Structure 1
Amino acid sequence: MTDLPPQPWSRPEQASAPQPQPDRDPRDGRPWSTPAPQAYGQPESERQQQPAYGQPQYGQPTYGQPAYGQPQHSPYTPSAYGPGAPQQPYAPYGQPGFAPQPAPPTKPALLPAALPVDGQSYPMAFAPLERRVGRWFVAWAIAIGFFFGGQVVSLALLMPGMVEFFSQLDVASASDPDVAAEMLGDILGTPLGMAGVNMAWAAMIPGAIVAMAAFGKGAAGFASSVAGRWRWRTTGRAAIVILPIFAVYIGISLWLDPSVEWQWNPNWGLVAIVLLTTPLQATGEEFTFRGLLPQLMGGWLRHRYVPALVLLLPVLAVMVLQPATWYLSLLALVAAAVGPWVLAGRLGNAIWIGIATGLLFGAMHAHPSISATLQLSLVGFTCSMLTYRTGGLESASVLHTANNVFIMVPLALTGTSAFSSQPVAGEDWLSFGLTTLALAAAYLAVHFFLAKDQRSTVGAPGAELLEPRAPLAEPMPEPVGAR
């Protein structure tokens, strides 16, 4: 027996009796008949659709499963695992994986490497070309390939005349040194020989354009002008002012030349070849001496010793082909080496580039007279200054074409060729003076009549991709109150 009072569980009748229920919920004190409050901003229909604790939400993948719409990988497929499997970023537990990002765009094969930037003159249009040194060698290889291709075409056109000449040659006179000169005059005096000489240089028109195209998409057009194309309007305006001047000048020069025998014996085949192919020949020489060479030298002007290296190969070639004018070739090389250190700025660069290429142009013709050789060099220098002034090769090509056509057509009407008698340039100083006056008049006419023509670049598509070049010297700050 114990003194403790009896407990409820010790009474069977009381333990099985139902206990009274309170009329309010002891957790929040609300009556049992009042519905439970809904989640904030969530309707009852959605509240009832909430998943149980630990289960993924509706539309979400379970752990380890791919997101809806993603490919189902299998461990047996080679793309699921292994070193070549795509790496997916990790996502938080219960969250879908990130969608794969597209690959970054690749650079185009013809990324602009040397397209002109704003405010560059024609010789300096490809100033940043040292950023792609390999393309510089590719451009040289293309230009040399076109040059030798033109020589092959020329040789093929000259071959019939050479075969005919040697078939009629006397064996006893074959050792005479004058035989070669006679053969050259006879072959070049024919329409086919004239076409061979002209087409050899005409090949440099596409040669220079394709060579400069190696520097990037759209760069080929800047081999013609700073506008990125050949400007036919500028060509016509230049012809209006240059042709009358040269018609008078060449007429007086031929009239004063005692070697010309004026007779009416036209060689119409030769006249047709001169009119059809001489403009191509003159323009091809302009693309070479006033286009390709100056732009390759000007593009490396940041390194002042490089322009001489650029001109070294052409100088050696001219010295081998024309050894009689070796002194002019060496002077051209000296001008390319000294010019960048002495003359600076747009005009200064144009002057020393014009002197270097003009001397090489005169040496290439190998005229026996010193005055005539200097006259040809002066023609080359004037063409360079016209190219700088107008920002392209159009006016220089017009002047060169007018000079050659106005000489060769009158001679063809007399039955002779300019290559057989070589009256291309007078051998006295009077002729040199007339040439100087004509060139000066032509330049001044272009200078004032074509004053509105574009003279510098305004940028090119893709030029903004070029990295900005650091200036050679920091600009001096402007004093306060200077303006």
Structure 2
Amino acid sequence: MTATPSPAYPAYPAPPPHPASAVPPLPYHRLALVTGRHRWWRPLAGTALLLAGAVAVSLVVLLAGEIAGAILDRPVDKDGFHVWGGIGETGVALLSLALITPVVFTAAHWAQRRPAGTLSSVTGRLRWGWLGRCLVVALPLVVASLGIMLLLPESAGGGAESTAGGTEWAGWPDFLLGLALVCVLVPFQASAEEYAFRGWLIQAVGAWCRSPWVAIVPQALLFASAHGWGTPWGFADLVVFGLVAGVLTVRTGGLEAAIGLHVVNNLLAMGVSAAIAGALASEETAADMDRMSVGVDVLMLLGYAAIVLRLAARRRITAVCDPASLPAPAPAPAPPVWVPR
């Protein structure tokens, strides 16, 4: 008996490959290209979205503060805005900056059509273990540099060193309230600045340029300018901070080293300010640092960079992304099939 051949099943086409599978391995500053959907205008559109979102966030926080002030019957200033005092104004400023992070994620997702996690690192996420080690490295260095700066004569280091009229004890109620505010908001504020400057700006420029330095230098200058114009020494210190954070971001493949340094620096600086009457309300920033304080701070920054780079090499922290290892976007849902009844 001859076997009857089975009917041939229709051959369905293979699903199209994930666009990232055709993209070669990329360093951190080139991650805007990770999905293969880059167009020259996308970084510009994302930057416009980021700026508009930052303004919108500030207005929302301001409006919420005015509504809360009206409900709580807070006093108003000569311009008609409700006054919250030095600690409250600092909280509003920190919150406005902290909320920039979701705006940056939105810009990456909407304008560049890529996973928002690629802003964090080449693995598509924040590497918490590596961030913890960077925090441990930063803590003693920042404590030492801060202690030396506080002992310097006529220190005007901004932030922690800002006394704005003396070193009078703030009192336990104001100190504890200010310290709680700093501990809650500063980690989000510092990381938001890293996502905006070392994350978005480096990758936006890196989408056009292969050289990491073309991406690192502009963000350092913009970072310094964003802190206001104080002394030339203070501006130079902020540029060095931006350069060191940018180099560490590219060399380690993520924002963890920059976030660790920024968070520890701001926590200790503003924590000390909380203990001094009126210091949190001061408008001085790191841009107002004097020459001697800048020398101490630059040495700390270079020391931190050297230790982190050595530790990253020892622990083999990856600095290059394999686009094929990132999760593929969810497939589009199939159109509904209508069955006649």
Q: TM-score, normalised by structure 1?
A: 0.56
2:50 aligned with 1:143, yes or no? yes
> What is the identity, as a one-letter code, of the residue corresponding to 1:357?
Q
CA displacement at 1:195 relative to structure 2: 2.0
Which structure's CA Rg is the greater one?
Answer: 1
2:320: which partner in 1? 456
Which residue of 237, 251, 257 corresponds with 2:133? 237
Q: Deviations over 1:246-276 (max 9, x none)?
A: 1111222233226633333242222111110
Which residue of 264, 270, 282 corresponds with 2:190? 282
CA displacement at 1:213 relative to structure 2: 2.5
CA displacement at 1:372 relative to structure 2: 0.9
Q: 2-side partners of 1:113 and 1:136: how far apart?
A: 18
Find the residue that maps to 1:420 and give its secondary structure: coil
Q: Deviations over 1:10-58 (max 9, x none)?
A: xxxxxxxxxxxxxxxxxxxxxxxxxxxxxxx89xxxxxxxxxxxxxxxx
CA displacement at 1:279 relative to structure 2: 0.8
2:217 aligned with 1:355, yes or no? yes
Kindly tell me: are residues 128 and 105 of structure 1, through their superposed partners in 2, closer, same or farther at Cα, counting changes over 3 Å?
same
Q: 2-side partners of 1:253 and 1:240: how far apart?
A: 21
Q: TM-score, normalised by structure 2?
A: 0.76
Moved more, 138-147 or 395-404: 138-147
1:376: which partner in 2? 238
2:308: which partner in 1? 446
Find the residue that maps to 1:126 and give its secondary structure: helix
1:155: which partner in 2? 62
> What is the identity, as a one-letter code, of the residue corresponding to 1:153?
V
Which residue of 253, 258, 262 corresponds with 2:167? 262
Find the residue that maps to 1:358 and give its secondary structure: helix
> What is the identity, as a one-letter code, of the residue corresponding to 2:107?
A
Q: 2-side partners of 1:457 and 1:131: how far apart?
A: 16
Q: Deviations over 1:360-392 (max 9, x none)?
A: 111111132111112112111111011112110
> What is the identity, as a one-letter code, of the residue corresponding to 2:123?
A
Which residue of 199, 204, 207 corresponds with 2:103? 207
Q: Cα RMSD over matched residues?
A: 3.6
In the alignment, is the contact (CA less than 8 A) between 1:142 and 1:211 conserved in 2?
Answer: yes
Q: 1-side partners of 2:9 and 2:318: how far apart?
A: 50
Q: 1-side partners of 2:147 and 2:106: how far apart?
A: 38
- Unmatched 5+ residue regions in structure 2? 157-161, 330-341
- Unmatched 5+ residue regions in structure 1? 1-40, 43-97, 175-182, 303-348, 466-483
Kindly tell me: are residues 411 and 235 of structure 1, through their superposed partners in 2, closer, same or farther at Cα, counting changes over 3 Å?
same
CA displacement at 1:440 relative to structure 2: 0.5
CA displacement at 1:238 relative to structure 2: 0.5
> What is the identity, as a one-letter code, of the residue corresponding to 2:323?
G
Which residue of 201, 204, 216 corresponds with 1:296? 204
Q: How many residues end up aligned between the 2 structures?
A: 308
> What is the identity, as a one-letter code, of the residue corresponding to 1:239?
L
In the alignment, is the contact (CA less than 8 A) between 1:225 and 1:392 conserved in 2?
Answer: yes
Which residue of 189, 192, 198 corresponds with 2:86? 189
2:282 aligned with 1:420, yes or no? yes
CA displacement at 1:454 relative to structure 2: 1.2
Kindly tell me: are residues 463 and 358 of structure 1, through their superposed partners in 2, closer, same or farther at Cα, counting changes over 3 Å?
same
In the alignment, is the contact (CA less than 8 A) between 2:191 and 2:259 conserved in 1?
Answer: yes
Kindly tell me: are residues 128 and 433 of structure 1, through their superposed partners in 2, closer, same or farther at Cα, counting changes over 3 Å?
same
Q: 1-side partners of 2:85 and 2:20: how far apart?
A: 43
In the alignment, is the contact (CA less than 8 A) between 2:21 and 2:323 conserved in 1?
Answer: no
2:337: which partner in 1? none
Q: 1-side partners of 2:147 and 2:170: how far apart?
A: 18
> What is the identity, as a one-letter code, of the residue corresponding to 2:53?
F
Kindly tell me: are residues 199 and 144 of structure 1, through their superposed partners in 2, closer, same or farther at Cα, counting changes over 3 Å?
same
2:340 aligned with 1:435, yes or no? no
Which residue of 237, 243, 249 corresponds with 2:145? 249
Q: 2-side partners of 1:102 and 1:456: how far apart?
A: 38
